[in-house]
C-alpha cells in the first residue's frame, strides 16, 4: 500500500510492513495542532507570573535599567538582592500585555506549537514521522495544565529547542545552543537547566559511539551554556539565585506548591504516568544508552516540581519514539521527506493560532478567585500591608497598585529565609502566626476560603471580613476597616 | 542470592527493632486489638459499627483485618507481643526473601538481586510497622512466584489468594494480577496455549478464592468501593506519592527508573525475555498504583524486584552472572556463612529487644486517660481520628471518628474535615453532632479556635495535646435527639 504525498507523487511513508497514508498523517498533524491551539486558548489568563512579569517589565521600562533588588512593593524584604532574574521574560510579557490580551494568547500558542514541533522534529530524526507525531502527542499530554505564557510552556519551548540543537553536536549546534542558553538565562531562572541539558548531551556522546569531533563540540556547547549562565545582570550570582528560583528545594513545599499533583494534576496523572508506563514497556533502545542521563534528569526534575512535568515530556518523549522505532521497525519511516508539506502544515498552524487568539482576545476571561479580590483591594485607594495565602494574588496586586505593599510575592527566591519560614508558619497556622502578623504590621489578609486560617481570622476580634468570593476571603484589621 | 542474604539480614535487624521496640503510633493497633477481643467474645466477626461510634452507629463494616485483630489481641503484652510484632517483621523480610528468590529463579545474577533488594528493602521501610498490610506482603510475593511457575504448582496461588483475603483486602489484587498475567501470556505465546489457559483458570479461581473469608463477596466489593471513595483524600497514606516520601525517593524510584531505562515489555530487550508482556502488564499496573498513592510504594517494590533484577542481568554486562566454575571456599562461605550471619543478626536483635515494654508514642493516651476520670458520658472528637481508637471499648466514651475509618459515612468525614478547616458552620456542626469532648493537637488550628470561642474549657494540657470539654450541658441536650433518631432509623 502506498500513499499520496503532498507534492502529488506516490510516496510511501513507512519503509516496510504497515504503511500510513500521507493524508492520514497530515490530518492527525492538523488535529494535533488544533488541540494545542485550543488548549492554549483556554489556558488560565490570570497566572501570577503574568502579573509579576507586567510589574517587573514596567519597572524596567520606567527606570531604563534592570532593578537588581526588591523595592518598596514588599515590606518584608525591600532591598533584598534578586539580580534582576527573568528581566527579559518580564519585559516581553509587559510588551505583549500592552499589545492586548490577544497578543499574550497568540504568544502562548506560538510557544506551544514551537515546543511540539521541536519534539516532533527530534523524534522524527530517529523514528520517522508517525512516531514523531506520537512523541509530540505524548509530550502534549504532559503539558496538560501547563499551557499559558507562565504555565511552563515557555520553559518547555527552550528545553525542546536546546535538546534538539544539542542532539547533533557540531559548530553550529554549539553556537546556537549557547545563544539559546543566553536568551533563556536572561528570560527566566529556568535557564539554569541549559547547562544540565548540555551535560546530558556530553554524557550522551561520551557513552555513545560518537566521533572525537562530536565529543569536542558537545563539550564546547556545554561550556557555552555554562558561560551563558554568567551573562545576565546577576553575573556570578545567577546560578545560586536561579537554583532557588527553580523551586525544587523541598523546604519550599510549605511556601509554594511544588508537588506534581498540586502543580500540574492533569499533566502528572495522565501525561507523566503514561510516559513512565511507555518507558517501562520500551526502555532505552540498545545503542542509545547515552540518552539515559536525559531520561533520569527529566524524571527527577518533574518529580521535584510539577511545573516541569511538561519539560519531562518534551525531553523524554523523543527518546521513547526512538525505542519504539527499534522495537517496532514497521512503524519507523526511512528517509522520505516532504519539506513543502511540512512548511504548509506549520503555516496552517500559525494562521489557526492567529485566528483563535484574535477571537479569544475579543472576550478576555474575567479574573476569578483571589485575583478579583486582590484587584479590588488595590483599587480602594488606601495603602495596605497585605499578606496573601496564594502568592499569585499578591503578584496581581503589585501590578495594580503602588500603594499596596506585600508580605511576599512570586519572587520567592529573593526573600530571606526568615520571611519564607514566617510565610510557611502562617500557612500551617502555627501558634506564632498572630505574632508574625503583628510584628510585620500586616493589615490585610487574602486567604483561601476553605483554609483554617480563614476560620481563625473570622473568630479573631481584631480582624473582619470585608469581601469574599467563591474561593477567597479578604480580611482587614478592624481599625483599618472602620 | 548469596549477597542478598546480607541485605536481608540488615533489613531484618532493622525491622525487628522497629516492630518490637517502637510500636506504631497511629492507633490502628488499638482498634484491631479491640476487634480481636470482640470476635473472641462473640465468636463472630462484627459486620456493623457499634454504639461506640456515635456519628454512625450500626453503619455497615467489613473488618477486613479480622485475623490480624485476633493475633493483635493475643499479642498484647510480654512474649505475645514479641511474637506478634516479630511475626510482622518476619513477614516483611519473608516478602523480600521470596521476591529475591523469584528473581534468582528468573535468572538474575547475585549482584543484580543484591542491588535491587537494597532498593526494595528501603521501599518497605516507611510503610513497615505492626500492621495488617505487612502480613499481606509475603502473600503477594508468594502469589507472584506461584503464578510464574509453568506447571500445576501455579494453582497453589489460589490457596494463597484465599489466605490473603483473610488478612487484608489487598487480596483483591490476586485475580487482577492473575488475569493480567494470563493476558500477557497470551501475547507472549501469540495465542492461547496451555500456560495461558492455566493462568486464566487461576484468575477465575482466585476471584472465588478471595471470597473464602467471613465476608464472602463483600470483601471484593468493599475493595472495589475504595477506588472511588472520597475519604482517601483525608488519609495521609492515600496521598499521591512525592519525593518527600523517602521510601519512594531512594527505594521504589530507583527501581522504577531502572525499569524505565531497561524496559520490561519487550523494547530492545524483548528478544531475550520470554516474559515481556506478562512483566509489562504487571509492572505497569503496580507503577500506576505507586504513582497514585504512597501506600503502594512497598507493594510496587515487591513486584518490581523479580522483574528488574533479571532485566538488569540481561542488559548490563557488569551485572551478568559469572561463568560457571567449581565452587571455591569463598563461594561456600558466601553460600552458608552469609545466610547464617543474617539469621544470627536478626536473632541477636530480637533477643536483645524481647521482653521490653513497648513505649507508647504519637498517641493521645494521656488526654484520653484524663477524660476517663471525668464523670459522665463523653462523645469525643479527636483532631487526628486515629487517636480516638484508644477510646474504643472504654465505658461511657463514644467517638466521632476513629482509626477504622472506612465504614464511616461520607457525611461524617465531611463534618470531620469541616472542623479541621474551621469552616463557617463548624461550631454548629459540633452542636448538631453533640460533641462534648475534644482531644486536639496543642496549638493546632482547632485548639487555637477553641481558645477564641465560648462554651469550651480546657481541662488537660501537656506538651502535645489538649483536652477540651463543653462548659455547659447544652451540648449534651443537643446530642440526644439526632443520635437517638439515628439509632431508631437503623
The answer to whether the CB atoms of A456 and B448 lie below 8 A apart is yes
A384-411 pLDDT, tens digit per residue, is 999 999 898 899 888 777 889 999 999 9
How far is B144 from B28, CA to CA, in rounded Å?
A: 28
Residue A152 has pLDDT above 90, yes or no: no
A196-220 pLDDT, tens digit per residue, is 999 999 988 887 777 889 999 999 9
Question: Domain boundary residue among A327, A360, A393?
Answer: A360
Q: Does B297 touch chain A (CB under 8 A)?
A: no
Higher pLDDT, A94 or A349: A94
Residue A150 has pLDDT above 50, yes or no: yes
Q: Which of B32, B33, B59 is CA-nearest to residue B47?
A: B59
Reduced to 3 states, what is the DSSP secondary structure of residue A245? helix
Q: Does A251 touch chain B (CB under 8 A)?
A: no
Q: Are residues A306 and A450 in the same domain?
A: no
Q: Does A250 touch chain B (CB under 8 A)?
A: yes
A451 CA: distance to closest CA in chain B (Å): 6
- Residue A255 inside a domain? The answer is yes
- pLDDT for A29 equals 83
Q: Are residues A336 and A396 in the same domain?
A: no
First CA to last CA across chain B, in angstroms? 57
- pLDDT for B45 equals 94
Q: Which residue of B has its CA nearest to A456?
A: B449
A4: β partners? A10
Residue A11 has pLDDT above 60, yes or no: no
Alpha-carbon dihedral sign for residues A220, A221, A225, A230:
positive
Q: Are residues A108 and A238 in the same domain?
A: yes
Provide, rounded to the nearest whole percent, the portion of chain A with pLDDT above 70. 90
- Residue A12 inside a domain? The answer is no
How far is A44 from A356, CA to CA, in rounded Å?
A: 15
Reduced to 3 states, what is the DSSP secondary structure of residue A101? helix
Least confident of A2-11, A333-342, B113-122: A2-11
Q: Are residues A405 and A280 in the same domain?
A: no
Disruptive mutation site among B188, B263, B275, B425 for chain A (greatest number of A CBs within 10 Å): B263
Question: Domain boundary residue among A317, A339, A360?
Answer: A360
Q: Which of B429, B262, B460 is CA-nearest to residue B365?
A: B460
Q: Does A39 touch chain B (CB under 8 A)?
A: no
A242-296 pLDDT, tens digit per residue, is 999 999 888 888 888 888 888 888 999 999 999 999 999 899 988 888 899 999 9
Helix or strand holding residue B437 (H, E) = strand B437-441
Residue A7 has pLDDT above 50, yes or no: no
pLDDT band at A191 (very low <50, low <70, confident <90, very high): very high
- Residue A56 inside a domain? The answer is no
- Mind spelling out the 3-state secondary structure of A453-471? HHHHHHHCCCEEEEEECCC
Cβ-contact A386, A405 below 8 angstroms: yes
Contacts of residue B449, Cβ cutoff 8 Å, sequence gap at least 6: A452, A455, A456, A459, B422, B426
Q: Which residue of A has its CA nearest to B260?
A: A280
Q: Does B280 touch chain A (CB under 8 A)?
A: yes
Q: Does A468 touch chain B (CB under 8 A)?
A: no
- pLDDT for B239 equals 85
- pLDDT for A401 equals 79
Residue pairs between chains A and B whose CB atoms are closer than 8 Å: 124
- pLDDT for B16 equals 87
Q: Are residues A188 and A254 in the same domain?
A: yes
Q: Are residues A281 and A174 in the same domain?
A: yes
Residue A12 has pLDDT above 50, yes or no: no
Comparing CB atoms, the residue among A273, A296, A303 nearest residue B288 is A273
DSSP assignment of A178-216: HHHHHHHHHH-GGGGHHHHHHHHHHHHHHHTT--HHHHH
Q: With beta carbons under 8 A apart, name residues in chain B contacting A250.
A: 243-244
| Complex ipTM | 0.88
Comparing CB atoms, the residue among A280, A429, A455 nearest residue B263 is A280
Q: Are residues A295 and A440 in the same domain?
A: no
Instruction: Provide the edge-to-edge strand list for the sheet that holds B437-441.
Output: B397-399, B378-382, B437-441, B465-470, B456-461
- pLDDT for B359 equals 54
Least confident of A329-343, A375-389, B233-247: A329-343
Reduced to 3 states, what is the DSSP secondary structure of residue B48? strand
- pLDDT for A1 equals 33
Disruptive mutation site among B239, B259, B310, B422 for chain A (greatest number of A CBs within 10 Å): B422
Question: Domain boundary residue among A333, A360, A387?
Answer: A360
- Residue A220 inside a domain? The answer is yes
Q: With beta carbons under 8 A apart, name residues in chain A contacting B423.
A: 450, 455
- pLDDT for A174 equals 96
Grid cell in block for residue B35: 476487634
pLDDT band at A122 (very low <50, low <70, confident <90, very high): very high
- pLDDT for A337 equals 60
- pLDDT for B480 equals 33
How far is A358 from A96, CA to CA, in rounded Å?
A: 14
- pLDDT for B287 equals 94
Least confident of A17-26, A223-232, B158-167, B424-433: A17-26
B475 CA: distance to closest CA in chain A (Å): 20
B126 CA: distance to closest CA in chain A (Å): 18
The answer to whether the CB atoms of B260 and A276 lie below 8 A apart is yes
**How many independent structural domains does chain A possess?**
2
Residues 419-458 of B with CB under 8 A from A: 420-424, 426, 443-445, 448-449, 452-453
Written as tens digits, the pLDDT of chain B (490 aa) is: 678 888 898 898 888 888 887 776 667 888 999 999 999 999 999 999 989 999 999 999 999 999 999 999 998 877 888 899 999 999 999 999 999 999 999 989 999 999 999 999 999 998 898 999 999 999 999 999 999 988 889 999 999 999 999 999 999 999 999 999 999 999 888 888 888 999 999 999 999 999 999 999 999 998 888 877 777 777 777 888 889 899 999 999 999 999 999 987 654 444 456 677 888 999 999 999 999 998 899 999 999 999 999 999 988 888 887 777 777 777 777 777 777 877 787 777 767 766 565 555 556 777 888 888 888 889 999 999 988 998 898 888 999 999 998 899 989 999 999 999 999 899 999 999 999 999 999 999 999 999 999 899 999 998 889 999 998 644 444 333 333 333 222 2
Domain span at residue A189 reads: 22-42+100-360
Q: Are residues A319 and A417 in the same domain?
A: no
Checking A206-214 for CB contacts under 8 A at 24+ apart, the result is A206/A290, A207/A289, A207/A290, A207/A292, A208/A287, A208/A288, A208/A289, A208/A290, A209/A287, A210/A169, A210/A290, A214/A169, A214/A170
Mean pLDDT score of chain A, rounded to an integer? Answer: 86
- Residue A354 inside a domain? The answer is yes
Q: Are residues A321 and A375 in the same domain?
A: no
Q: Are residues A321 and A384 in the same domain?
A: no
How far is B300 from B282, CA to CA, in rounded Å?
A: 10
- Residue A236 inside a domain? The answer is yes
Q: Are residues A203 and A304 in the same domain?
A: yes
A95 CA: distance to closest CA in chain B (Å): 38
How far is B24 from B294, CA to CA, in rounded Å?
A: 17
B66-75 pLDDT, tens digit per residue, is 999 999 999 8
Q: Are residues A142 and A275 in the same domain?
A: yes
Comparing CB atoms, the residue among A431, A452, A460 nearest residue B421 is A452
- Residue A62 inside a domain? The answer is no
- pLDDT for B228 equals 74
How far is B330 from A137, CA to CA, in rounded Å?
A: 54
- Residue A313 inside a domain? The answer is yes
Cβ-contact A57, A51 below 8 angstroms: no
Q: Does A189 touch chain B (CB under 8 A)?
A: no
| Phi, psi torsion values for B436, nearest 5 degrees | -125, 5
Residue A81 is given by DSSP the state B
| Torsion of the alpha carbons at A57, A59, A63 and A67, rounded to the nearest 10 | -90
Amino acid at each position: 500500500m502506498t500513499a499520496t504525498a503532498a507534492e502529488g507523487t506516490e510516496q510511501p511513508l513507512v519503509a516496510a510492513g504497515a504503511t500510513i497514508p500521507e493524508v492520514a498523517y497530515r490530518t492527525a498533524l492538523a488535529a494535533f495542532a488544533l488541540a494545542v491551539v485550543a488548549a492554549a486558548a483556554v489556558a488560565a489568563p490570570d497566572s501570577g507570573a503574568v502579573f509579576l512579569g507586567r510589574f517587573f517589565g514596567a519597572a524596567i521600562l520606567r527606570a531604563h535599567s534592570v532593578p537588581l533588588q526588591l523595592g518598596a512593593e514588599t515590606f518584608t524584604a525591600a532591598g533584598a538582592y534578586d539580580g534582576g532574574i527573568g528581566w527579559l521574560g518580564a519585559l516581553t510579557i509587559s510588551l505583549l500585555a500592552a499589545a492586548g490580551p490577544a497578543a499574550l494568547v497568540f504568544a502562548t500558542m506560538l510557544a506551544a506549537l514551537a515546543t511540539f514541533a521541536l519534539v516532533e522534529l527530534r523524534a522524527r530524526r530517529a523514528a520517522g514521522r508517525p512516531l514523531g507525531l506520537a512523541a509530540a502527542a505524548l509530550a502534549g499530554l504532559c503539558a496538560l495544565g501547563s499551557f499559558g505564557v507562565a504555565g511552563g510552556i515557555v520553559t518547555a519551548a527552550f528545553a525542546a529547542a536546546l535538546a534538539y540543537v544539542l542532539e547533533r553536536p557540531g559548530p553550529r549546534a554549539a553556537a546556537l545552543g549557547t545563544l539559546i542558553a543566553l536568551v533563556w538565562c536572561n528570560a527566566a531562572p529556568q535557564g539554569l537547566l541549559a547547562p544540565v541539558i548540555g551535560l546530558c548531551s556530553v554524557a550522551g556522546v561520551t557513552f555513545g559511539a560518537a566521533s572525537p569531533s562530536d565529543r569536542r563540540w558537545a563539550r564546547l556547547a556545554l561550556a557555552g551554556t555554562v558561560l551563558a549562565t554568567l551573562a545576565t545582570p546577576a553575573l556570578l550570582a545567577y546560578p545560586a539565585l536561579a537554583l532557588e528560583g527553580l523551586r525544587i528545594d523541598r523546604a519550599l513545599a510549605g511556601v509554594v506548591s511544588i508537588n506534581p499533583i498540586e502543580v500540574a494534576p492533569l499533566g502528572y496523572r495522565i501525561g507523566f504516568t503514561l510516559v513512565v508506563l511507555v518507558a517501562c514497556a520500551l526502555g532505552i533502545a540498545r545503542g542509545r544508552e547515552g540518552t539515559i542521563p536525559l531520561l533520569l534528569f527529566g524524571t527527577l526534575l518533574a518529580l521535584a516540581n510539577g511545573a516541569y512535568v511538561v519539560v519531562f515530556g518534551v525531553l523524554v518523549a523523543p527518546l521513547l519514539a526512538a525505542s519504539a522505532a527499534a522495537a517496532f521497525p514497521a512503524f519507523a519511516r526511512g528517509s522520505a521527506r516532504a519539506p513543502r508539506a511540512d512548511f504548509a502544515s506549520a503555516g496552517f498552524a500559525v494562521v489557526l493560532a492567529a485566528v483563535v487568539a484574535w477571537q479569544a482576545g475579543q472576550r478576555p476571561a474575567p479574573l476569578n478567585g483571589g485575583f478579583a479580590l486582590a484587584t479590588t483591594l488595590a483599587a480602594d485607594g488606601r495603602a495596605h500591608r497585605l499578606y496573601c495565602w496564594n502568592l499569585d494574588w499578591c503578584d496581581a496586586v503589585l501590578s495594580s497598585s503602588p500603594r499596596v505593599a506585600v508580605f511576599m510575592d512570586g519572587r520567592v527566591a529573593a526573600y530571606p529565609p526568615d520571611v519564607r519560614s514566617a510565610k510557611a508558619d502562617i500557612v500551617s497556622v502555627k501558634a506564632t502566626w498572630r505574632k508574625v502578623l503583628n510584628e510585620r504590621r500586616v493589615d490585610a489578609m487574602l486567604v483561601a476560603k476553605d483554609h483554617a486560617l480563614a476560620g481563625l481570622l473570622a473568630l479573631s476580634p481584631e480582624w473582619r471580613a470585608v469581601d469574599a468570593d467563591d474561593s477567597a476571603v479578604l480580611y482587614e484589621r478592624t481599625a483599618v476597616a472602620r | 542470592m548469596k549477597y542478598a542474604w546480607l541485605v536481608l539480614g540488615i533489613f531484618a535487624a532493622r525491622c525487628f527493632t522497629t516492630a518490637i521496640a517502637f510500636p506504631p503510633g497511629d492507633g490502628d493497633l488499638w482498634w484491631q486489638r479491640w476487634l480481636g477481643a470482640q470476635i473472641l467474645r462473640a465468636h463472630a466477626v462484627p459486620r456493623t459499627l457499634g454504639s461506640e461510634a456515635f456519628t454512625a452507629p450500626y453503619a455497615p463494616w467489613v473488618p477486613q483485618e479480622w485475623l490480624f485483630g485476633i493475633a493483635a489481641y493475643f499479642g498484647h503484652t510480654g512474649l505475645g507481643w514479641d511474637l506478634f510484632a516479630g511475626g510482622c517483621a518476619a513477614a516483611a523480610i519473608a516478602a523480600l526473601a521470596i521476591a529475591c528468590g523469584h528473581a534468582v529463579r528468573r535468572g538474575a545474577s547475585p549482584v543484580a538481586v543484591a542491588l535491587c533488594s537494597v532498593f526494595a528493602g528501603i521501599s518497605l521501610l516507611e510503610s513497615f510497622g505492626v500492621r495488617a498490610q505487612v502480613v499481606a506482603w509475603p502473600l503477594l510475593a508468594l502469589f507472584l512466584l506461584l503464578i510464574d511457575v509453568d506447571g500445576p504448582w501455579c494453582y497453589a496461588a489460589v490457596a494463597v489468594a484465599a489466605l490473603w483475603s483473610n488478612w487484608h483486602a489487598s487480596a483483591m489484587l490476586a485475580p487482577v494480577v492473575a488475569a493480567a498475567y494470563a493476558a500477557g501470556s497470551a501475547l507472549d505465546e501469540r495465542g492461547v496455549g496451555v500456560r495461558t489457559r492455566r493462568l486464566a483458570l487461576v484468575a477465575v479461581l482466585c476471584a472465588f478464592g478471595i471470597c473464602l473469608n467471613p465476608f464472602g463477596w463483600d470483601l471484593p466489593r468493599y475493595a472495589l468501593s475504595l477506588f472511588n471513595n472520597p475519604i482517601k483524600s483525608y488519609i495521609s497514606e492515600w496521598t499521591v506519592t512525592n519525593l518527600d516520601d523517602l521510601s519512594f525517593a531512594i527505594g521504589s524510584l530507583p527501581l522504577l527508573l531502572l525499569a524505565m531505562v531497561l524496559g520490561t515489555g519487550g523494547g530492545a530487550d524483548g528478544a531475550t525475555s520470554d516474559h515481556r508482556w506478562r512483566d509489562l502488564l504487571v509492572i505497569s499496573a503496580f507503577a500506576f498504583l505507586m504513582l497514585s498513592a504512597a501506600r503502594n510504594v512497598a507493594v510496587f517494590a515487591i513486584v518490581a524486584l523479580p522483574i528488574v533484577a533479571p532485566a538488569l542481568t540481561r542488559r548490563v554486562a557488569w551485572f551478568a552472572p559469572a561463568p560457571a566454575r567449581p565452587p571455591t571456599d569463598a563461594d561456600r562461605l558466601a553460600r552458608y556463612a552469609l545466610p547464617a550471619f543474617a539469621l544470627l543478626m536478626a536473632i541477636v536483635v530480637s533477643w536483645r529487644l524481647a521482653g521490653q515494654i513497648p513505649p507508647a508514642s504519637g498517641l493521645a493516651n494521656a488526654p484520653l486517660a484524663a477524660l476517663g476520670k471525668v464523670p459522665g458520658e463523653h462523645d469525643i472528637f479527636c483532631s487526628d481520628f486515629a487517636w480516638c481508637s484508644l477510646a474504643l471499648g472504654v465505658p461511657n466514651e463514644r467517638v466521632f471518628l476513629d482509626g477504622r475509618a472506612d465504614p464511616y459515612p461520607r457525611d461524617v468525614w465531611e463534618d470531620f474535615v469541616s472542623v479541621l478547616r474551621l469552616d463557617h458552620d463548624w461550631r454548629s456542626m459540633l452542636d448538631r453532632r453533640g460533641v462534648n469532648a475534644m482531644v486536639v493537637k496543642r496549638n493546632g488550628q482547632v485548639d487555637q479556635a477553641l481558645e477564641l470561642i465560648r462554651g469550651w474549657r480546657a481541662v488537660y494540657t501537656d506538651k502535645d495535646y489538649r483536652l477540651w470539654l463543653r462548659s455547659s450541658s447544652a451540648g449534651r441536650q443537643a446530642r440526644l435527639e439526632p443520635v437517638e433518631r439515628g439509632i431508631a432509623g437503623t
